[in-house]
Amino acid sequence: MEKVLVTGALGQIGSELTMTLRDIYGSANVIATDIRSTESDVVHSGPFEVLDVTDEKALFHTAKKHGVDTIIHLAALLSAKAEASPMLAWNLNMGGLVNALEAARLLDCQLFTPSSIGAFGPSTPKAGTPQDTIQRPTTMYGVNKVAGELLCDYYFQKYHVDTRSLRFPGLISYKTPPGGGTTDYAVEIYYEAIKRKRYTSYIAEGTYLDMMYMPDALTAIVALMEADPTRLVHRNAFNVSAMSVEPEQIAAFIRKKIPEFVMDYQVDPVRQAIAESWPDQLDCSCAREEWGFEPAYNLENMTEDMLTKIESSLSVNQ
């Protein structure tokens, strides 16, 4: 990875990954793109272009013009939004990915795109979900993710495009909100804990889902992209997770810092049904063995960091 094009660079992952990549590879070597522009570090700290990933020619020409050797394709709709607009999700998630893969094939680029716990479904084993197992998701987002994993494998096998991917769990971060996912509650809870000392969860008590703190997700992307390809038995996509948690557990750790924090529940049937169709806890042994995945954050140190960072960012912005 020397010169990188990032799509969806203003999203939850992109806004932090772009800055991390600019630190490592140099600002001029990370070309950030998104469907819109904003007043932000990503737009002002290095090259930025407005790019619609469903425009095949525009994606190809942007990658060609900058002479990139890597495409990090992040532009996509998350699960709850995809369920509300399935055709939009199909067109954006699949159309964008195939355009990114074609650009990677024609320009001989390495390609990363995230998969998700959403690539699993109700018939997948819930506990210790294996790397290789049943994938019959019941959401449009999941259908896109499984098709995306297969398409990336196809481009690797048929065209030798160096495709690599991670099945991300819910990603928790304090810089850019996720927006439209099923696991968003695990981000919102920290903001509401600081602002109102109270949170109403739309996911039911006792619903376990895998989660990971954003710094571990960023480290994992770079580690996988730089990994020795001869060690990779799998490619699209590796199970990764740092914790399996349910809402009450997050609340309990928040209460260690904010004892008066109160949580109640108003379950959203759509997002609850999506959450129940996903695994409780992934087996990440292939990621550990094939490229050394090792998350640094658990629920305890992530909660401390989230509360501290959100508190200081809210007080600066007051």
Which residues are identified as catalytic?
A: 141
Q: Is 277 in the site for ligand SER (CB under 6 A)?
A: no
User: For 48-94, where are the alpha helices, taking DSSP H only?
Assistant: 56-65, 79-84, 86-89
**Can you tell me the distance from the alpha carbon of 290 to that of 31, in angstroms, rounded to the nearest whole number?**
29
Residue carrying the six token digits 């001989």: 108
In the complex with ligand SER, which residue's Cβ is closer, 29 or 116?
116
Q: Is 281 in the site for ligand SER (CB under 6 A)?
A: no
In the complex with ligand SER, which residue's Cβ is closer, 87 or 316?
87
CA-closest candidate to residue 109, choices 29, 244, 267, 3: 3
Among 181, 247, 279, 295, binds ligand SER (CB under 6 A): 181
Residue closest to ligand SER when measured from CB atoms: 181
Site residues (CB under 6 A) for ligand SER, limited to 140-179: 141, 168, 170
Residue carrying the six token digits 């209460």: 255
Q: Is 96 in the site for ligand SER (CB under 6 A)?
A: no
Q: Is 183 in the site for ligand SER (CB under 6 A)?
A: yes
Q: At closest approach, how far in Å is the CB of 26 from ligand SER?
A: 30
Residue carrying the six token digits 């903001």: 191
In the complex with ligand SER, which residue's Cβ is closer, 5 or 282?
282
Q: At closest approach, how far in Å is the CB of 33 from ligand SER?
A: 21
Among 15, 163, 182, 207, binds ligand SER (CB under 6 A): 182
Among 72, 78, 187, 243, binds ligand SER (CB under 6 A): 78
In the complex with ligand SER, which residue's Cβ is closer, 159 or 191?
191
Which two three-digit tokens encode residue 120?
């699993």
Count other C-beta atoms under 10 Å from residue 23's C-beta: 11
Q: Is 118 in the site for ligand SER (CB under 6 A)?
A: yes
CA-closest candidate to residue 119, choices 166, 85, 162, 172: 166
* Cis peptide preceding 237, ω within 30 of 0: yes
Considering all CA atoms of the chain, what is the largest pairwise distance in Å, rounded to the nearest integer?
Answer: 57
Q: At closest approach, how far in Å is the CB of 288 from ligand SER?
A: 21
Q: What is the DSSP letter of 170?
A: E
Residue 166: φ, ψ to 5°: -125, 140
Can you say whether residue 292 is alpha, beta or left, with left for phi > 0 and alpha for psi between -120 and 50 degrees? Answer: left
Among 40, 70, 110, 116, binds ligand SER (CB under 6 A): 116
Q: At closest approach, how far in Å is the CB of 40 from ligand SER?
A: 21
In the complex, which residues of this chain contact ligand SER (CB under 6 A)?
78-79, 116-118, 141, 168, 170, 181-183
